[in-house]
Structure formats: C-alpha cells, structure tokens
Structure 1
Amino acid sequence: MKKLFTLFAFLLGYILSYAQSDYKVIFDITSKNIEDHNTIMRQINGILKGSPDAQLEVAVYGDALDMVMKDKSTITSAIKDLINNKKVSIKVCGATMKRNNKNASQLIPGVEIVPDAIYEIITKQKEGWGYIKVAH
C-alpha cells in the first residue's frame, strides 16, 4: 500500500508540473486600435500572474504594425517589459513590414521578425498552442 501511495504521489506531481509548464498561447493581433493593444498586454500579464511558466507569443501583422514601431507605439514600455521575460515573444510579420516599407531598425528592440505571421500562427497551432484573436 505504501508503494502504491508513493507511486500515486509521484505521478500526481509529474502530471501537475507538466500541466503547468505546458501552457502555451499565441495571440493574433491585426488591429490598429490602441484599446486592443492595451487589451493584449493586460491579457498576457494576467496569464503570467496566474501561470508564470506559461509560454506566450504575440503575432503582429496588418494594421497592428504601429504597435511594435519605435516611433508610433503607445505601449513601448509594456512591450519592453514583456520581452525581458524569456517566456514571452513578440513577432511581427516580415511581409507586412515589406508592404509598409519598414525595416528592423524601426522596431522596438527585442521584437522579432518572422517571414509570415499567419504561417507562424498555424505552426504554433500544429504544435498544440492555444490561439486567441484580439480585436473589437
């Protein structure tokens, strides 16, 4: 009986630790609406408060481009704070940047460029990540 209890306790601990570290979500934002930019920051910080080990990513494309531009973003400090967390990444669509004649030097430092944000989202979903669209 003691061995069975020990095995059960070990398995329960393993399952709980695996479940906590397996929290992965990609956020999709295409909106230029500043309220949406603030919403995504609030959602991410809320998740991190409850699950500090969560892996979170923001895919920025379309009209949301200003959100990650040094000279246009209204949430630069919030983005910088999130980027300092190794569990969070902000990725912008390279195709959107090209369409808008923007380059990497114009981004908030730490924002990464991916070739295509939609492909990034699909890839994460295939890997089992949750998906949240942020928009009005």
Structure 2
Amino acid sequence: MKKLFIFLSLLLGSITCFAQADYKVIFDITSKTPEAQQTVIRQVNGIIKENPNAQLEVAVYGDALDMVLKDKSTVAPALSELISGHKNVSFKVCGATMKRNNKTSAELIPGVQVVPDAIYEIITKQREGWGYIKVAH
C-alpha cells in the first residue's frame, strides 16, 4: 500500500508539473488598431494570472509595428510591464517589417526582440508544439 501511495503521488506530481510547464502559446498580431493591441495585452495578462509558468510569445508584424515602437505605441506601459515582469513572456517583431518601414532596433520599446521573419517564427513555434492564436478585433 505504501508503495502504491508513493507511486501515485509521484505520478500526480509529474502530471501537474508537465501540464503547467507545457503551456506554450504564440500570438499573431498584424492589426494597427488600439483595440486589437489592447486585446493581446489582456489575453497575455489573463493567461499569466492563471498560469505564471506559461510560455507566451507575441509575434508582431505588418500594420501592428507601431505597437512596439517607443514613440508610437498606445500600449507601451502595459507591454513594458509584461516584458520586465514575466520572464516567460516575449514580444518579437518581424525584422522584414522593420526593414520595409525603415525602422531600427533603437526605436523599439526596451525588451522587444527582433526576429528575421515573424511568419517563420510562428511556423517554428507551431512545429515545436506551441498553440497558436490570431489576434483580431
């Protein structure tokens, strides 16, 4: 009986750890509307509140570029708080979008990372088993 209890305790602990550590989602945002950008911030905050160990990434490209620019973002304070306050949350902007719009990494909100191509980033995460959410409003 003692061995069965130990086995079940280990099994339950393993399942709980796996379930919490395996929560990985990439968000896809291309919208320039403040409502869509506020939506992704709200969604990320909601998930982090329920599961602080969740790994969350926001891929920013296309018309959403202003979201991560210091001088144009309408969600800069909330975005900065997410980046600095949660090691498992990242915002990644498309390098190709930045190049098309003549923007440099110096113009980004601190902590926003540049990836060569946001669509490739999304596909890579999906191949690694990450969930995918297209943000639209």
Smaller-chain TM-score bracket: over 0.9
Matched positions, count:
136
Q: Identify the residue that residue 134 of structure 1 maps to in structure 2.
A: 135
Query: Alpha-carbon deviations, 1:2-24, whole Å to 9, x = none?
Result: 21121011111111111111110
Q: Identify the residue that residue 21 of structure 2 maps to in structure 1.
A: 21
Displacement of 1:38 = 0.3
CA distance in 2, matches of 1:86, 1:9: 29
Query: Alpha-carbon deviations, 1:12-63, whole Å to 9, x = none?
Result: 1111111111110000000001000000000000000000000000000000
Q: Identify the residue that residue 113 of structure 1 maps to in structure 2.
A: 114
Q: Identify the residue that residue 43 of structure 1 maps to in structure 2.
A: 43
CA distance in 1, matches of 2:118, 2:78: 21
> Gapped runs of 5+ residues in structure 2?
none
CA distance in 2, matches of 1:53, 1:47: 9
Q: Identify the residue that residue 10 of structure 2 maps to in structure 1.
A: 10
Query: Alpha-carbon deviations, 1:59-92, whole Å to 9, x = none?
Result: 0000000000111001111111011111100000
TM-score w.r.t. the length of structure 1 is 0.98
> Gapped runs of 5+ residues in structure 1?
none
Query: Alpha-carbon deviations, 1:94-131, whole Å to 9, x = none?
Result: 00000001111111111000000000000000000000
Greater mean alpha carbon deviation, residues 43-52 or residues 3-12: 3-12
Q: Identify the residue that residue 66 of structure 2 maps to in structure 1.
A: 66
CA distance in 1, matches of 2:87, 2:10: 29
Q: What letter is aligned with 1:74?
A: T
CA distance in 2, matches of 1:16, 1:83: 26
3-state SS of 2:96 partner: helix
Cα RMSD of the aligned pairs, angstroms, is 0.6
Q: Percent identity?
A: 71
CA distance in 1, matches of 2:31, 2:94: 14
CA distance in 1, matches of 2:6, 2:90: 39
Q: What letter is aligned with 1:29?
A: I
CA distance in 1, matches of 2:20, 2:115: 27
